[in-house]
Chain A
């Protein structure tokens, strides 16, 4: 217990780093997920920008990347991280890699949420002369907003999960803290403190997501 009190500054720093990593990856991964999901939805047969080639490529990409365990993906994507963010280690590398993995995971969720929008509503928009871009922003995304918020809440938990292995490539955060000061020092109290903080964080975000989604759905 005493060691935990000594480690309090490090615990807060780690919590801050987790928030930093998860916040940025939620932004970039979420954006990527929206793009991938929209791409899958729009290019699907029968939809407004039907394109078999685009759909097949995106679909295969999502199916290939999603099942790779993240810790392996982290290692495998290191050269790519070096190319894009200039380094294969540390927080920039982990943020890049999580964002990439999250884009594909989130893409599938976005696609599924968009598929719940009634095709008839899209017809209604087309019948008054709306074009594809306008339909995406004024009909498709607003109509799917409630489920999309819940999807982003869901992916948030996955981001926290992925960020926990940041330590392997020299990144920080609560996962690294728990391993470094708890597990390796045989100090379960420290580990549990990290666990507790993560639970609180996830609960807060879930609560926020639920209430925003409720507002969007007006229920």
Chain B
């Protein structure tokens, strides 16, 4: 059974003016998150991903569909009952949202106070969490004395205080520099592996998905337009918007503009080889070119690794000018290469 299951969920905001139209923020989204997943939800600003994650812990109420948490539909629950549900769901935020009037230790203790845990237990748990996030020396510091990365680590410790089984990360690294982002993502990975916490990550940065997610859903205009294993979506995006996101981290097929530039510098035939399976033997592919005496140059692309599997696109310019009937030789080679992997001739 999925730990979080959305069934045709929608969220419509009433029109702000009398003549205006209602705003459809979430439009019939269905999604299953299995225990232990790190589920990435990616989309541009305004795609509805933040609204979607706020429906999962009912910070905002949905206007349609079912939201099942551990099998229980929370869509119709009264506020009082929701508080119990929220104790089992931690949340971290883009702006950290720490309590400035409380120390680091006080921030982490807050959910435990809400849950009514005795003082001694709170102190022990806070110490444990401070250790886990590496901020044991900052227990008495106030949030405004911390760096962004430290603040988010406090946010993570606070979210984990009551040992929730689900963690929601709403653009948790978007306010951080690349190095700190990496640090926070590594910590989230540990949270997932060491505590078995299911994590839902909202982001507009594809490298966040690449670094920690196992599954991904791409959102656009309130809908999920594509979902699946991160490897599948990265190696073979089905939707233009997904391809654009993948393109931000993966150098794949050259765009028409880039191709025009490449054409100016390379007169020969240009082909793109796509490697998507671990089964594809690059050595065999390039061996074919060598045996036929076709010279090649890699002019675009790259090979990427996601979750221990490689994929990528390599665009080659081929030259066989020294051979008679060069075109026929190249056609012949490409036919043989096609047996091994996908070949696209770029014209």
Residues of A within 8 A of B (CB): 118, 120-121, 123-131, 134, 138-139, 142-143, 145, 216, 218
Contacts and interface: CB of A to CB of B under 8 A. Distances in A.
The CB with the most chain B CB atoms within 10 A, among A121, A134, A142, A145, is that of A121
Given A129-B111, A129-B114, A130-B114, A118 B95 contact: yes
B227 to A, nearest CB: 25
A127 B159 CA distance: 9
A218 B142 contact: yes
Contacts of B158: 124, 128
B111 A120 contact: no
Nearest to A125: B110
Contacts of B93: 120, 123-124
Task: State the main secondary structure of chain B at its contact with A.
Answer: mixed
Contacts of A143: 99-101
A127 B95 contact: no
Contact of B99 (A126, A127, A131, A139): A139
Interface in B45-93: 57, 59, 79-80, 82-87, 89-91, 93
Given A129-B87, A130-B83, A138 B97 contact: no
B59 A128 contact: no
Interface of B: 57, 59, 79-80, 82-87, 89-91, 93, 95, 97-102, 110-111, 113-115, 142, 144, 158-159, 161-162, 168
Contacts of B95: 118, 120
A128 B99 contact: no
A129 B83 contact: yes
Contacts of B83: 129-131
A128 B86 contact: yes
A128 B101 contact: no
B100 A124 contact: no
Contacts of A125: 99, 110, 114
B110 A121 contact: no
A215 to B, nearest CB: 12
Contacts of B142: 218
Contacts of B115: 128-129
Contacts of A118: 95, 97
B154 to A, nearest CB: 11
A124 B114 contact: no
